[in-house]
Amino acid sequence: MSKNCSEVILKVENLQNFKEKPRTVGYEDALKEIGFGRVQIEILIASFLIISNLTNETMGISFLIPLASCEMDLSESDKGLLSGMIFIGMMIPSYAWGLLAGSRGRRKVLLLSIAGSTIFTTIATFTSNFYLFIICRFFTGFFVAGLSIIYTYIGEFCIIKHRATIISWASVSTGFALTLLPLTAMWILSYDFKFELFNGYKFTSWRVLMLIFIMPGILGGLWILRLPESPKFLLTQNRDEKALEIVQWIYKMNKGDAVPLNIDILEPEPIQHEQDCDKKSKMQKFFSSIREQTVPLLKSPYLKNFAACCFLQFGIFNVAGGLALFLPDILNKMANAQNKIETMNLGICHVPNESVAKNCSHPRGTNHFCDSSINQSVFKDSIYLGIAFTVAYVITSLFMKPKRRKMIIASTLLASSICGFLLNYITLYYAVVVLICASIMLSGINSSIINGATVDIFPTNLRSTVVCLTMVFARIGTTTSSNLIGYLLEHNCELTYHILPAITLLCFIISFALPT
């Protein structure tokens, strides 16, 4: 009898041990069990706002320069410095932001970037000194550079199957912002008001516009405050319990279920830190982090993809960044010339050449007539460009799948190059407007697609660094292109629309190096 009782007790204990065995699940499998729901939608909204803020800060200056140049009495070189300063500020810290996001977290970098850019844009709004203004624009760029981490952040809350599509939908905000920018500018700048606040400082309509441009960033930052750190990042930092806690929170928010997800342990992500990391000084840890997040990119199997992504971003932003900065000015000159000579047969290079003599550069502080007016057709054409961007992003989002990504990049780059080459040979005004907008749009939509590709191609511990490094090349592309275009439009306009399409065509060829 006692023998039978012992056997029963032993079986019960074995059964309990079997039931108590913890369930270990990988992060990707956990996301599949959680599904797409409220948390992912909230992150998508926050991403929408943050990417809109990034677009406002970089492209909004195009609508401010005509009024700012008259108020601050700027020369042509001053205006070039003002338009490019934010991109110079963005180039310098991008690599550091990537390292910081890889070691301290995506959420912290986003919050710090939003806070810093908001502070310096606000300071710039209330200064009438040109040098202080461009210093503020530099530091705005310094902090805005960190916002590129948003692509990594949103991607790590989605399963691989849906990641490219979600990032593409978040990028619709770029088109939305490019539509609202001229709409808001047309509305605010129509009120030509001045309020004298202190020491002769006048608060004008274009300064109000600057404050409006930073509102999406403020709202996005407040939204990020209620969202957690990426669990995938936490797993690379050996913070498995915190990662599991966030996964359970996501499940509860998505399902509205008080019963927790049946996961006891999340499988750890590969940790790149050396075993004796705790024995190192802070400086040693810093350089170790740089080595761990950079050296692998310069070796197989990552070097080819890393180099391709860097050049593609550089080439894309030669058109989508550099040429886009000149678009309002080009359209404004074309519209004014069209009204003056009353003809629709106007080549894109006829206007800048005619305008050189009329709008001669002058040193700051000299007496001259300053025309700060912006032709209304410029706003309308810019709105159409924004709508085209929005439609293009929506279409690519609907058709975006990892296997289709290379085809979308290649086809749009080829179309952009063709539109650019045609600009030298078309003289019909509206055809020129359509072609230049199409060239910018077809090239520009690929930036976010490539950012999505980097999140897919590279492992967790490298992807934030890769995104930021590729965006360094994007900003180099914008800066070099804007300076080159400024020179060529004055001295050899036709060459502008041969060089830029040629670069885009080279990007088309290089896009085939990306993995399927």
* Cβ neighbour number for residue 327 with a 10 Å cutoff: 19
Q: What's the whole-model pTM score?
A: 0.81
Mean pLDDT of 495-511: 94
List the structure tokens of 369.
Answer: 């007539």
d(CA 374, CA 452): 37
Which of 115-119, 124-128, 230-234: highest mean pLDDT?
115-119
- Residue 84: per-residue pLDDT: 80
Q: What is the pLDDT of residues 332-355, one digit of tens each?
A: 777 777 766 655 566 788 764 444
Q: What is the pLDDT of residues 378-396, one digit of tens each?
A: 788 888 888 988 988 888 8
Cβ atoms of 451 and 151 closer than 8 Å? yes
Please report, to the nearest 10 degrees, the dihedral formed by the alpha carbons of residues 209, 46, 454, 287 taken in order.
90
Q: What is the pLDDT of residues 396-437, one digit of tens each?
A: 888 877 678 889 999 999 999 999 999 988 888 888 888 998
All structural domains of the chain: 24-270+279-359+374-513 (1.20.1250.20)
Mean pLDDT of 483-503: 87
Model confidence at 197: pLDDT above 80: no
Q: Which residue from 481, 393, 474, 434 is spatially nearest to 164, judged by alpha carbons?
A: 393
Q: Which long-range contacts (CB under 8 A, 24 or more apart) does 180-184 make?
A: 180/52, 180/386, 181/55, 181/56, 181/59, 181/60, 181/63, 181/213, 181/382, 181/386, 182/63, 182/378, 182/379, 182/380, 182/382, 182/383, 182/386, 183/379, 183/383, 184/209, 184/212, 184/213
Model confidence at 443: pLDDT above 70: yes
Considering only the C-alpha atoms of the chain, give the largest distance between any 2 of them, rounded to a whole number of Å.
Answer: 114
Mean pLDDT of the chain: 82
Residue 330 confidence class, pLDDT cut points 50, 70, 90: confident
List the structure tokens of 88.
Answer: 């110079």
List the structure tokens of 317.
Answer: 């932003």
